[in-house]
Each structure stands twice: as C-alpha cells, then as structure tokens.
Amino acid sequence: MVNGHTYISASNASRWTRCTASAELTKNIESFDTDYSTEGTEAHGIAAKMLSYMLLEAENPLPSIEKEEAKQLMARYAIEYGDWIKEILPNKSEIFIEKRVSFTDTVAGTCDCAIISQNEIIIIDYKYGQGLLVPAVDNLQLVFYALGFRKSYGRKDKYKLYIYQPRTQDDEPYSLWELEDHELDLYEELFNNAISEIEQGKFIFRTGKHCQFCPAKPRCPEWNEELQVIEKSKKDFPSPELLPEDVAEAVHLRGEEVIKWIQSVMKYNLAKACNGSRFTNLKLVEGRSFRKWDDMQEGDIVSQVNMYNLEPYKKTLVPFSHVEKHLGKKKFEESFGHLVVKPKGKPKLVSRSAKGEEISLSGGYEFNDLFLDGEEYE
C-alpha cells in the first residue's frame, strides 16, 4: 500500500515501475485462487520447508508431506532445488528463506531465498509453473529483493539474481542475471521515481510487454484507443499490398500487441461469464470435449500398454489415440475403454445467435487462467 490506497509489491514491480497507472487501476480488482495459484502456493511451501531442513537444519518435512503424487513430485523438485543451492553457496554466508524485504516503509515483498556473503548478494526466486519460461534478465522482482537486502546489509560488489524453475524444458532449471553495485543504483532510481509518481497521484499509462498479465488490461484506456482505431477502420480494411510501406511497418510492429489485447478482453469477458455474469449479446456454452486417459488410473494404463509391447512413455504418457490406432477401435475398446474418459468441454463465450445451450457457472476463474480456441498456453 502507498498512502493507504494503492497496492504495489515486488511480484508486479515490472508493471508498476513502467506504468504507474496500473497500480491505481488494479487496486480494487478481486483476486481468486485458481488451480495454478494453489499449486504454486503449495510448491513454494514445500520448497521453503525443504530448504530450511537442508540448509538451516530445521525439521525434516518429508514425513509430513502427503503421499499424493503431485505433492511427492513437489518434494522431489524441492530436494533438487536445495542441492543446487548448496552448489552455488559461498563460504561464510548467511541464508534467508521466505524473508520479508522492504524497499520503503510502505512497499515490501517476500523473497524465496537470499544468500549474503562478504562480497555479494544472491537472490533466488522459485517458479513452479511450467507453461511460461521466466528469465532472470531484466526481472524487476529480483531487483526489488536485491535493493531491499542492500538497504539492510550494505552495498556489495556483485549481485547474482536467479530464477529457479524446475519444470521447464531447458537444459538447466535456472537462469542468472548478474549486476554490479552501480547498475543497481540505476534501478533504485527507477523504483524511487515510480513510487514518487504513485504517491503524488501521477498515474501515467505506458503500454508494453509488462501489460501481458495485467488484470486491468481489458479496461485500460491506453489500450482502448487501439480498439477505437480498429473500430473506425473495420469497414474498409485494405489489402496488405495496397498499404504504404510505413503503414505496413506500423501495423506489423503494433499488431501483435493489439491482438494480445483483444484476446485479453475476450478472456476477461469469458472470466466474468464463468463467474456468474450475463451479457446481452453473448452466452456461455460448453465447448467441444475430447476423450483422454483417466489421470486417476495411470498405473493401470501403463500396465495394459506394456502388455501390448508398446512404449508407455516418451516424455509423457503415450496418447490413447496412438494405442487405438495400433490395436484397432474394437480391440482398444475391449482392453482400454474403461481407462478413457470424456470430460466436460471448456466454457466458451459465443454470440447469442450461435448454436449451443446456455450454461451457468459460478467459480473462481481469472482471465489469465482461461484460454480461447486455438490459443496456446505460453
């Protein structure tokens, strides 16, 4: 909180330092727990307990972790995380786990792991998500923590900022950004200027990559201007070959951001519908459903697949369609039919004139957790 009314923190530092208006625009947007956020919270909790045991000689958390496969996987990743930290740990250093860090009296955040030695500060942020690769370079959340620890423990020669993300497909589960003390001074100025603007009520809109996960993006006036341009020109979109070169370049440079913004508006509307809102010209319907293996019976699936001398795994469980093609539909149904399920289709927002019976939902959906037809999870 700044002046008791505007929410800013370490985790969204890349947004409010570049667009101070986002701090004001997002302050009253309610946040819901989702499957992704719940999983991340649980993974962070297990990782923190495991690090405390491996690095600070706290109680071993393994006996208390549920035997559920997802929790055991979190524990295995946490052990690998702890082993990796031991490898980079400097001599004569102090370790902090889940440490609350303040940049000012009113702006703070919680750092997953920090290591302070005589000549350097090491910051580590643990990311359990696997869909979006989070790089350390230019990550202002890490800079926030580094500035907070520098304020408390003094200036150092080096600052090593890590993102540790164990479920990515990269060769290494971490990325590193190294800064020197004078470079950190420049970021401190950036933070101070942004906080000053917010405290004075100077809410300035600036669009860019930091808009990607902004919950206020669908109602952002800066982005709304882009829609108005499209609305004015939609009746007469010229063919690409008729565009002047400078216009074609401008469309190319701006087009990707505009497309993402339009998608964010559509997902925002979808989230509202999934949380109980009704629209005049739109309705919520059940999307197309696809058959899949029953996740609860993976052991039986592997056993059955092995019986037919098929490789059950490559990177993931072999698709049932591959097994069905190999055996034929009749044989597949006899041997594997009970191991395949057809879940409900994902909710979809369409025109009221479109086919499909309207459905009603009321659950904790956020627009960042919903995906449109043909859209991949980045």
How confident is the model over 334-357, as pLDDT tens digits? 777 787 777 777 888 888 888 888
pLDDT tens per residue, range 33-42: 677 788 889 9
188 plus 335 within the same structural domain: no
Asked if residue 148 and residue 34 are part of one domain, the reply reads yes
pLDDT reported for residue 4: 38
Q: 191 and 325 share a domain?
A: no
Element (DSSP H or E) covering residue 125: strand 120-126
Stretches in the chain below the pLDDT threshold 70: 1-7, 30-33, 169-170, 225-238, 295-296, 298-319, 362-378
Where do we find the tokens 């890490």? 142
User: Is there a domain that residue 363 lies in?
Assistant: no
Q: What is the CATH number of the domain that holds 54?
A: 3.90.320
Q: Which domain holds residue 123?
A: 13-199
pLDDT of residue 232: 54
Q: Tell me if 121 sits within 8 A of 146, measured CB to CB.
A: yes
**What pLDDT is attached to residue 191?**
94
Position 180 scores a pLDDT of 96
Residue 378, pLDDT score: 31
Q: Specify whether 176 is located in the same domain as 63.
A: yes
User: pTM for this structure?
Assistant: 0.64
